[in-house]
Amino acid sequence: MTSDLSIKELSQLVPWAKYPSNELVFFDLETTGFDEKDLITEIGAVRLKRGAESLERFSVLFTVDRPIPQEVVEITGITDQLLKEQGQPFYIAFAKFKEFVRDSDLFAYNVRFDRKFIVSLTKKYNITFSNYMGDSMLVCRKAFNLKGRKLSDLAEHLGINYEGAHRADVDSEIGLRCFIAALNELEQMGD
């Protein structure tokens, strides 16, 4: 389905009339765990512009004040050493993310997860962030009648390559491809 399509072909599937900005910005986080007390280790994002031949990509690693749990390292490949060498403090890394996304509407797969970290940390650091954040998981569930929450299950269902997943920039592109497949499916259903 959308995994074999070039970015230009993918762009042609988007019902652009619903997105007057003529762009879709999809993002994803990697974290130290699942609770609000956990921290963001990486934000990745991709921007698809109408008619574009390539995606604009963004990725930044964050410094954290605690060791990365081994199960998270095994899933993401993000290690304490990697964050020590390449991570940036939250207020610097998040400022770079804000610069990339500007005032764009944002989409994420299961955005409730991502939003809780962003809200918690922007509040902690007194950073204003008011971008709309839409949940593509709801659109995908409606289009494909899926019950599960995992992006990997959806990608497998759609035949989208999930290699390199669990890094925020890769998951952003996978999420975008799933979202566009769902939008296209709903459009064909007349919804």
Mean pLDDT of the 150-171 span: 89
- Whether 148 has a pLDDT exceeding 80, the answer reads no
Token pair of 37, please? Answer: 């007390």
Confidence class of residue 1 from pLDDT cuts 50, 70 and 90?
low
- Distance, in Å, from the CA atom of 20 to the CA atom of 3, rounded to the nearest integer, reads 25
Confidence class of residue 162 from pLDDT cuts 50, 70 and 90?
confident
Give how far the C-alpha of residue 95 lies from the chain's centroid of Cα atoms, to the nearest Å.
Answer: 17
DSSP state of 28: E
- The predicted model scores a pTM of 0.93
Which has the closest alpha carbon to 136: 174, 96, 82? Answer: 174
- Contacts with 26 (C-beta within 8 Å, 6 or more apart), sequence order: 45, 46, 48, 106, 107, 108, 136, 172, 173, 175, 176, 179
- Whether 2 has a pLDDT exceeding 70, the answer reads no
Domains in the chain (CATH in brackets) are 2-189 (3.30.420.10)
Confidence class of residue 122 from pLDDT cuts 50, 70 and 90?
very high
Which has the closest alpha carbon to 152: 139, 142, 137? Answer: 137
